[in-house]
Amino acid sequence: MSDSPLDPTSGSVTVVAEDDDAAVEGDAAVEADVPLLDTPADGLPEVTTTPSALSAVIDRMAAGHGPVALDTERAGGYRYSQRAYLVQVRRRGAGTALIDPIACPDLSELGAALGDDEWVLHAASQDLQPLAELGMSPTALFDTELAGRLLNRPRVGLAALVEVEMGVRLAKEHSAVDWSTRPMPAEWLTYAALDVELLLELRDALEDDLRSAGKLDWAHEEFAALAAAPPAPRRQEPWRRLSGLHKVRGARRLARARALWEERDRIAEQRDITPSRVLPDAAIVQAALAGPVTAEELGALPGFRGRSRRARGRSELSRWADVLRAASDLPPDQLPTPRPRYDGPPPARAWAERDPQAAARLSAARAALTEIADAHDLPSENLLTPDVLRRLLWEPPQPTQTAVAAQLAALGARTWQIGLVAEALSTILAEPVPSLVTGE
């Protein structure tokens, strides 16, 4: 087997140029002369679905060498859970394996076989939790998307980076399919196998670019922090993310929206389907505004009547109506606040009204960070996250470089970030600010 799928001597890769545009990230046009990679170098592997087949995969991967390319496919938009429905693994000397985690839900032995070897993922934050649920967690990590961001690439999706670095296109037409489908069609599996086909070569190319740009140590810090990060906490008051909630005014109406959202979430979790397939956001907003108290009144609303009402049936309409009545009967002290509770400083748009001096500091700091980011060819949000900046400036430390650096470290900033921004931020904190600002 050739380690590189692009090895012209392998004769095992079909690379064809197409005249028609293919699905790509963003609005960028596809160049007709960029070849399309449409076949795995070693052919499409069988999906691993049995303990004996999994043992063979583990032995094969353990016998391979170098970093390990990994990816997962989930069923967002179809299922409630974010579990993996397919795991792709590739290693030099071992080839590619496709593992069905529904049939093989414990991959801890595979994780142990990989030991401390580096994992290579694209947009790792999307895959680490599903892999952890299967018993796999990395010791060392290389995230090709994050590498692209540190290099300030205009497009950092996998297909875009592969096209720039490797000179071929990856088809993306199956990226949003329902991966919980069984059996999975061969064309879906081909797409999935190709997602790791060039990941190791891409990693090597990006590492060279990072080294040339003087950013490789920065990347190593970022990768280590990503590998060590705990699972993201559940968002506070997630019901406030309802599309159209801005139309719902008043605590009682907000209580109805919250109650419907929470009931929908319970049903979606029980059925393992995406919540919008239980009840659309628009229907929740309609019911929160109208406040119906009977199934008949609820069924008259546009989001509940017609085909959707027949599908739900009278008993389900009664269930939603019961939820609405209970929300309408809540005592005042159990009603939601008009505005969300924040763990930390308020949103930046509210600073000018609540603390004009903090707003002035934030405006000056944003300008300074933009200048530093431009000087180092970085996106501003990778130089310092907006959340860290807001927390630092809302309750600022003493205006010394040492104090600012210590506070940034406590907030999770990396050493390389602190080295670039601490002096500028301490200078801003030490300067007098206007007592009033009119906005940002």
Tell me the residue range of the domain where 398 lies. Answer: 348-430
Is residue 143 helix, strand or coil?
strand
Q: Say how many domains are in the chain.
A: 3
Structure token digits, residue 122: 């694209």
- Residue 15: both structure tokens together: 């690379």
The pTM of this model reads 0.87
Q: What per-residue confidence (pLDDT) applies to 432?
A: 82
Does residue 196 sit in the same domain as residue 60? yes
CATH number for 408 = 1.10.150.80
Beta-bridge mates of residue 88: 71, 98
The predicted structure's pLDDT at residue 436: 41
155 in the same domain as 73? yes
Residue 436, in any domain of the structure: no
What's the pLDDT at 306? 57
- pLDDT tens-place string over residues 370-415: 999 999 999 999 999 999 999 999 999 999 999 999 999 999 999 9
Residues 221 and 289 in one domain: no
440 within some domain: no
User: Tell me, what's the pLDDT at 32?
Assistant: 56
**Orientation angle between helical segments 415-430 and 356-375, nearest 10 degrees:** 140
pLDDT tens figures, 230-277: 887 888 899 999 999 999 999 999 999 999 999 999 999 999 999 999
Q: Are residues 91 and 160 in the same domain?
A: yes
Q: What does the pLDDT read at residue 305?
A: 74
Q: How high is the pLDDT of residue 309?
A: 45
Question: pLDDT tens across 99-153, in order?
Answer: 999 999 999 999 999 999 999 999 999 999 999 999 999 999 999 999 999 999 9
Nearest to 140 by CA among 152, 151, 128, 153: 128
Identify the helix (H) or strand (E) that includes residue 257. helix 251-271
pLDDT at 313: 59
Region of poorest pLDDT, from 206-215, 349-358, 370-379: 349-358
Residue 440 predicted with pLDDT over 90: no
- Omega prior to 183 cis, within 30 of 0: yes
pLDDT surpassing 70 at residue 352: yes
Q: Are residues 207 and 288 in the same domain?
A: no
Q: What is the enclosing helix (H) or strand (E) of 98?
A: strand 95-99
